[in-house]
Structure 1
Amino acid sequence: MTRLGSLLLLVALALPVAARAQDSLEISKQRELEETRRQARESRAMAQQLKGKETQALGQLHRTDRELSLTRNRLRNLLRRRQNLGQQLELTRTDLQMSIHSLTGARERLRHRLRSIYKVGPARDLEVLLSQQSFAQLLARWDFLLMVAEQDRQLMEEVRDRKVQVERPPARTSA
């Protein structure tokens, strides 16, 4: 019995030590589990924060992309407008050169006509009309004088109109 008693005593003494070792292992595992849970919570919070930053960055990227697209459209429109204005400027310059040339020609014709009138002297219209020998000659001379007067009037108007056109400042083109 002594043997049995000592065995029992040994078992009785070993049981609390084994239970304590089991409790200690369980507490250690519990702490490890809590630490893992805490790290998981921190990782989820960090992931949520990074997801928010990603959403903001994507929003900014989309806004920048739209602004870039609008800027490119504006640039294309401005380049097209510049090209159109350049073409209009060339047409205006060509038209101005033609008007200046036409004005110069009309002035020259007018100078020649005035010189001819000066050389002949003052017109004696009544004398020309009354000195005719027949009524047909009178009508022919009358028609001729009217035609010359009309040509002179048209020439004067052409010179005046061309002069105004050449001297007028070019109209600002708005597109």
Structure 2
Amino acid sequence: MLDQFQAWLEEVQKSAVDYKVTTAKERGIANWKKVIWTSPMKNAAIKAKFSEMAGKVGMPGRDQIKCRPSRKAGEWLYDLVWRRFDQEGNLVEVILAMEIEVSYMQECTKRYDFNKLLQADSSYKVFVFQQKTKEDVEAGLQRLKSAAAQYRFRSDSEFLLCGWSTLKNEFIFDRFHARREADLVS
């Protein structure tokens, strides 16, 4: 599933670059990298992609996957969450919990929202953030993995960490598996 999540984020990245190139041409800007893909645009594009795909991974005739936020519903604990309901409407499990923190770059604020993911009872956890340089993104990825290594997980989960480099105009990914038993993060 993490491969699919990463592919969706790469599609969002491609759309962002296409937007920047097109906008630069329309505005007569020589360097498309000077066009800003704003934080609200990033947030909306990521949520839209994962909301769209939630309905496609459900099991027709069986359990239903509901995504929040959706067009009709607001945020539910996390920036985006996929919940599975049975045919009677009972919540069966949380499949995906996602936090998207691209509107600011302070470490303490990112850590606050990342900590929310650590305690999430979901099979998959995705954290999206931004930094200027590739090196800053990679340092952020290492800090997040180090923080996760200290947490005593109550359930197994797969993490996808995604750092947007505003200088490179691309996502940089890392992933790890958190095991229930101990402080082991691989």
TM range (shorter): under 0.3
Bigger relative CO (Cα 8 Å, ≥ 6 apart): 1
Q: TM-score w.r.t. structure 2 length?
A: 0.18
Structure whose alpha-carbon radius of gyration is higher: 1
More helix by share: 1
**More strand by percentage:** 2
TM-score (norm 1): 0.19
